[in-house]
Amino acid sequence: MAEPLDRALLDEDVPGWWAALGLPGLVDVHVHLLPPPVMRRVREQFDTAGPLIGHPWPLRYRGDEDELIAHLRALGVRRFTALPYAHRPGIAGYLNDWAADLARREPDVARSATFYPEDGVDGYVTHLLDDGVEVFKVHVQVGRFDLLDPRLDDVWGPVAEAGTPVVLHAGSGPVANRFTGPGPVRALLDRHPRLVLVLAHLGAPEYDGFVGLAGDFDRVHLDTTMAFTDFFEDLAPFPSALLPRLADLGDRVLLGSDFPNIPYPYAHQLEALERLGLGGDWLRAVCWDNPRRLLGGGDVPERSPDR
């Protein structure tokens, strides 16, 4: 690894950062690219610290889709998601069609999709699985729904059988509701233990419960999204006592950023992970090996096995 900088890591430093680790780049499992009208509404929520946000959240990146993708490529993010998320009935089809078109045009974007407990959800999820979707996003904190809603009974099984990962925001941050927390996720996994889940934000703020799920179910992963950054440590600090467990789960911890909806440079997420002091092997696994394995290679190269 390179010597630490005597200043904060900047976005222009990122290619040198991953190169010093011996990596070909980065793979990010938690990027949000949305249709322009939806992105405008999301930004309004952040700008006004709306009821689902609850805190000042000054967005760092405000470009359009092409500008955002170009910035990720300049950072060396070789593969990344789009992660649309349905927050009400009737919108999933629109979001999924948009994301499918994006993945066709931009091969470094993993084919992303979402679903919601609504009539016909089993049919469109089956079609998405047959059509090669690579990752789902489900957002309980925004969508405010029960993971065990009966309309999802015929969804979770096929998703588990397919092994398609689901990036699941079920932690109670930034604003809790009665459907968030590790309890409902454990109930879901008790029914479908083969689900490949990626628990967003390490499950913040209920870190202990969500890290416990990853320890108990061998297809449960954790993404680093916003965790350990100065911003998040002020809101929901990660308990230092959990770090050894996170190190032990190194093969199931994945780089996530929440780009572009973050109030600091992308580079700060990487800097925050490095300063944990868990070592180069852990960083290489988190920033490349683990997310690449989960999302599939696409056009992303293999990493030299001796690094």
pLDDT per position as a tens digit, 79-112: 999 999 999 999 999 999 999 999 999 999 999 9
**So what's the pLDDT on residue 140?**
97
Whole-angstrom Cα distance, residue 154 to residue 129? 13
Question: Rg of the chain's alpha carbons, rounded to an integer?
Answer: 18
**So what's the pLDDT on residue 163?**
98
Whole-angstrom Cα distance, residue 85 to residue 171? 15
DSSP SS3 for 137: strand
Task: Kindly state the average pLDDT of the residues 113-140.
Answer: 98
Whole-angstrom Cα distance, residue 157 to residue 95? 22
**So what's the pLDDT on residue 300?**
75
List of residues 6+ apart from 295 with CB closer than 8 A: 27, 29, 79, 81, 110, 134, 135, 165
Quote the CATH superfamily of domain 28-295: Metal-dependent hydrolases (3.20.20.140)
**So what's the pLDDT on residue 304?**
64
Name the band, by pLDDT with cuts 50, 70 and 90, for residue 143.
very high
| pLDDT above 90: percentage of residues in the chain | 92
**So what's the pLDDT on residue 164?**
98
**So what's the pLDDT on residue 306?**
53
Task: Kindly state the average pLDDT of the residues 18-22.
Answer: 98
| pLDDT above 70: percentage of residues in the chain | 96
Tokens of 97: 């069609």
Domain residues of the chain, as ranges? Answer: 28-295
First-residue to last-residue Cα distance in the chain: 11
DSSP states along 99-123: HHHHHHH-TTB--EEE--SSTTHHH
Is the pLDDT at 1 greater than 60, yes or no?
A: no
Task: Kindly state the average pLDDT of the residues 28-47.
Answer: 97
**So what's the pLDDT on residue 7?**
76
- Residues 219-247: pLDDT tens digits? 999 999 999 999 999 999 999 999 999 99
**So what's the pLDDT on residue 250?**
86
**So what's the pLDDT on residue 296?**
80
